[in-house]
C-alpha cells in the first residue's frame, strides 16, 4: 500500500498544531518571547515592532498571547506561518519535533523510508558481522606476520592457530596450519 503525502500549507499545519502549542507547559514565556523577538528582529516583515510589543505584553496570559500570535500569522499568510515554524525549530527543537503535523508528515512519507529507522541504516549488520570481519583481519595480520621470512614465530603461531577454531573457520585454520608446517620444513 503506497501512501501519498498531500500538500499541507504551513497555515493548515499551524491550525492543526495550535492546540498542541497552546497547551500548558509546552512553551514557556521565555521561549515565546524568543520566538517573537526572532520574528521581529530577524524577519521584521513578519512582525512589526508594535505587533511584537503586543504579543510580548506580560499583563496578558501566555495562552492568550500565543493563540493571538498564531491567529495573526495565519491571517497574514503561508510565508509568515513558515517563518514561525523556522523560529520554533531554532528555539525549541524538541517541541518542533513533537508537533502533531510533523508526526503525520513522518508517517505519510511517500518514499517508503521509515525516518525513525533511517539513522540506523549503516549499522544493520549486527555484532556477528563485526566479529567476523575482525577475525578475518586478525587472522590475515597473523598470517602475514608468519609469512615474513625474517621472523621465527612459527611455533608460537601454530599454537595460536591450533586454539582458534572459534575465531576462524576449521578449513581456514587447517590451511594455515599446513602452510605453517610447510614453511617450517623449508627453513
| CA-closest candidate to residue 52, choices 77, 25, 34, 74 | 34
| pLDDT per position as a tens digit, 52-86 | 999 998 888 888 998 999 999 999 989 999 999 99
CATH classification code of 16-108 = 1.10.533.10
C-alpha dihedral, 10 to 61 to 39 to 15, nearest 10°: 0
pTM, rounded to two decimals: 0.53
> 156 pLDDT exceeds 60?
no
Alpha helices in 23-153 (DSSP H): 29-41, 49-55, 62-76, 78-91, 93-97, 100-107, 115-118, 127-147
| pLDDT per position as a tens digit, 3-51 | 444 568 888 898 888 888 888 778 888 999 999 998 888 877 888 889 9
> 128 pLDDT exceeds 70?
yes
> 2 pLDDT exceeds 50?
no
Amino acid at each position: 500500500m503506497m501512501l501519498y503525502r498531500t500538500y499541507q500549507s504551513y497555515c493548515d499545519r499551524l491550525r492543526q498544531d495550535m492546540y498542541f502549542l497552546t497547551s500548558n507547559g509546552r512553551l514557556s514565556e521565555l521561549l515565546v518571547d524568543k520566538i517573537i523577538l526572532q520574528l521581529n528582529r530577524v524577519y521584521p516583515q513578519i512582525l512589526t515592532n508594535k505587533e511584537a510589543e503586543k504579543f510580548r505584553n506580560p499583563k496578558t496570559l501566555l495562552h492568550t498571547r500565543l493563540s493571538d500570535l498564531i491567529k495573526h500569522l495565519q491571517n497574514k499568510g503561508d510565508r509568515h506561518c513558515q517563518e514561525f515554524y523556522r523560529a520554533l525549530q531554532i528555539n525549541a527543537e524538541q517541541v518542533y519535533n513533537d508537533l502533531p503535523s510533523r508526526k503525520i508528515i513522518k508517517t505519510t512519507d511517500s518514499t517508503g523510508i521509515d525516518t525513525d529507522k533511517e539513522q540506523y541504516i549503516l549499522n544493520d549488520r549486527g555484532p556477528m558481522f563485526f566479529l567476523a570481519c575482525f577475525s578475518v583481519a586478525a587472522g590475515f595480520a597473523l598470517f602475514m606476520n608468519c609469512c615474513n621470512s625474517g621472523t621465527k614465530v612459527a611455533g608460537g603461531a601454530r599454537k595460536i592457530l591450533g586454539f582458534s577454531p572459534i575465531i576462524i573457520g576449521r578449513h581456514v585454520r587447517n590451511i594455515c596450519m599446513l602452510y605453517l608446517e610447510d614453511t617450517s620444513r623449508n627453513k
